[in-house]
Amino acid sequence: MRRALTDIAVRWLMRCVTYFIVLVIAYIVIDIVWNGAPALSWTFVTAMPKESGAAGGIFPAIVGTFCLILGAIVVALPLGTASAVYLSEYAKNGRFTRMIRLAIITLAGVPSIVFGLFGLGLFVLFFHFGASILAGSLTLACMVLPTIIVASEESLRAVPIYLREGSLALGAGKWQTIRKNVLPYAIPGMLTGSVLAIGRAAGETAPILLTVAAFYLPRLPRSVFDQCMALPYHLYVLATQYPDADKIRLMQYGTALVLIILVLGVNLVAVILRIHFRKKYKW
Amino acid sequence: MGGHWREAGVKWLLAVSSSVCIIVVLVIFAFLFKEAAPFVRDPGVLDLLGARWTPVSFIKQQFGIAPLVSGSVVVTLLATLLAVPFGLCGAVYIAEIARPLEREILKPLVEILAAIPSVVLGFFGLVVVAPIVKYVFNLPTGLTGLTGALLLALMAIPTIVSISEDAIRSVPRSYREASLALGASDIQTVWRVTVPSAKSGIVAAVMLGMGRVIGETMAVLMVTGNAAVVTLSPFDSMRTMTATIAAEMGEVTYGSRHYQALFWVGILLLLATFILNVAAQRVLRNHQRA
């Protein structure tokens, strides 16, 4: 009898702790939506900032973030998927493969600010790109590379072996088999993983802090060698670099909300993609 | 015959692409050391061991990283201490106790937390958590190590939950069945059989969570107050290694001693996370083999 009571108590305790975590998450999201919603308007997302960001809109920051993400995808997606194909289809369990795996694990754990230092040292100073979209995108690309590789490899490995064997048995070459009989089924999963990685890149501040982000630049970037504003850095600036930070709460919450919508929106797209394709392919 | 060449070419191209990862890691290490190196000759590495960090000073520049390391260590340990019980309970509940539908809802909700950008959490900390900490503990300011640790604990929880949950679910069913057959209740089975069997996976989850916490920059930069003093009290304002780099790198002259000292801080961070991650992977691999 006493044991049954303890069991019930423990069960409820664990349930409460778990729901407490969820409650905190909900509170954070609701707080930002609630306080940020009044700031949202068409002009807020399409106008230039005024008075060092204390008024006006956040258009250049949104554009800047999109440019950075696009740049990171263009570089990281081909490299990441190619690495994943190599690791899942070609790699033997040798020294080279072990080194690649160690490198992926290491890269995944590098703190974002250290990526910033690396981008500053290599792209900004050594390659003389200056603080630019190019330098920032390349830094972000290095950061998302391991996530893309791991997700893509997983979805390649999920393709059943008999799809490969069938094609090989009919006399197709290895690459032909991969291209025609493996990749088409793996691409949805690869896409989902990459989309998630991109969502993470969109919200990162530390790597772009030292490589691209402009404090206040009320115009759109003209080339990849231009600096640009970015949503996460803009929020940081609004929240901490103003003497009267309390007075521009609405701008801060608005920026935070747009950033959250962007990041969670990207995540939602990934989830929908996953559900859609899971229904389509079943083995 | 052309097909053969193409096959070889593709394989070679893919191998080259995957070596990019190795190259990036090597270049990261190389460039951090390259930028930090001149410091060894001029003031000397021993200067880094001092207890005062006053990189901008008219009297004497001092680059002792002790206050930064103590800041990082206190915040990280406190965050881990807060995150582990919550994360573990959450993982066990989601893996073993929740009904299937409940699990399908809880898991993505916890994963949302991992998706929220750290700068947004930092902002939330600044506006909501800091005033609460200030009020509850009756402090002159809410920008303390504790505030940072609270936010970092939030960031570590999703990592701990999702990796521990995988580890718990991968415990063979026969273990549970044996325990239940011997008359143990399901709660007893969970805590005395399943969780101990998943121990190494859980340890790895905690280590990976710590790796994330120690490298986290924006949230701590915004809420810990950034006073570079050696302190062990979480109610003091403190400054972590990451926050120091983020806050000061924008204002230094490239190539100056201060710049080099910041790269040393970066190297230290890189090594700390590298060791944590490699150790965690080793633990995970042993777990999978067992």
CA distances from A157 to A116, A160, A161, A255, B146 (A): 33, 7, 8, 40, 43
- Short-list B155, B166, B168, CA closest to B111: B155
pLDDT at B1 > cutoff 70? no
* Residue of chain B whose Cα is closest to the Cα of A245: B127
Distance from CA of A89 to the nearest CA of B (A): 10
Q: Concatenate the DSSP letters of all residues of A237-248 into one string.
A: HHHHS-TTGGGG
Option in A99, A108, A202 nearest B22 (CB): A99
- Please write the tens of the pLDDT for every residue from A188-217: 888 888 888 888 888 888 999 889 887 788
Structure tokens that stand for B252 in this block: 């230094």
A50 SS3 class? strand
* Residue of chain A whose Cα is closest to the Cα of B126: A239
Look at B28 and A118 and tell me if their CB atoms are within 8 Å: yes
DSSP code of B224? S
Task: List A188's β-bridge partners, or say none.
Answer: none
Distance from CA of B151 to the nearest CA of A (A): 11
Distance from CA of A87 to the nearest CA of B (A): 8
Query: Tell me, what amino acid is at B248?
Result: E
Option in B98, B218, B270 nearest A110 (CB): B270
Look at B127 and A249 and tell me if their CB atoms are within 8 Å: yes
Option in A26, A210, A235 nearest B119 (CB): A235
Whether A260 and chain B come into contact, CB under 8 Å, resolves to yes
Whether A78 and chain B come into contact, CB under 8 Å, resolves to yes
Query: Tell me, what amino acid is at B79?
Result: A
Query: Tell me, what amino acid is at A275?
Result: I
Find chain B residues with C-beta within 8 A of A140's C-beta.
Answer: none
Tell me the whole-structure pTM to 2 decimals.
0.91
Which pLDDT belongs to residue B2?
60
Look at B187 and A11 and tell me if their CB atoms are within 8 Å: yes
Other residues' Cβ atoms within 10 Å of the Cβ of residue B289: 6
ipTM: 0.90
| Segment holding A55, helix H or strand E | strand A55-56
Option in B185, B215, B273 nearest A7 (CB): B185
* Mean pLDDT score across all residues of chain A: 89
Cα separation, B112 vs A101, whole angstroms? 27
* Range 38-77 of A in CB contact (< 8 A) with B: none
* Residue of chain B whose Cα is closest to the Cα of A147: B21
- Short-list A236, A258, A283, A204, CA closest to A58: A258
Which pLDDT belongs to residue B156?
93
CA distances from A202 to A6, A68, A77, B58, B139 (A): 46, 8, 15, 40, 35
Distance from CA of B230 to the nearest CA of A (A): 22
Structure-derived torsion over alpha carbons of residues B116, A151, A208, B77, reported in degrees to the nearest 10? 60
A49 SS3 class? strand
Distance from CA of B258 to the nearest CA of A (A): 14
- Please write the tens of the pLDDT for every residue from B117-133: 999 999 999 999 999 99
Which pLDDT belongs to residue A283?
57
Packing angle, helices A231-240 and A249-280, rounded to 10: 150
B273 Cβ contact partners less than 8 Å away, ≥ 6 residues apart: A109, A110, A111, A114, B211, B214, B215
Residues in chain A: 283
Mean pLDDT, residues A124-146: 93
Cα separation, A238 vs A219, whole angstroms? 18
Whether A269 and chain B come into contact, CB under 8 Å, resolves to no
Mean pLDDT, residues A149-154: 91
Structure tokens that stand for B217 in this block: 């920059």
- Please write the tens of the pLDDT for every residue from B81-91: 999 999 999 99
Cα separation, B272 vs B269, whole angstroms? 5
Look at A142 and B249 and tell me if their CB atoms are within 8 Å: no
Burial label for A30, CB within 10 Å (0-12, 13-18, 19+), is exposed
A19 Cβ contact partners less than 8 Å away, ≥ 6 residues apart: none
Query: Sign of torsion, CA B181 B186 B192 B196?
Result: positive
Phi-psi domain of B183 (left: phi exceeds 0; alpha: psi -120 through 50; beta: other): left
pLDDT above 70 as % of chain A:
99
Find chain B residues with C-beta within 8 A of A192's C-beta.
Answer: none
- Count how many pairs of residues, chain A against chain B, have C-beta atoms within 8 Å: 250
Which pLDDT belongs to residue B111?
84
DSSP code of A219? S
Lowest mean pLDDT among A8-12, B40-44, B145-149, B218-222: B40-44
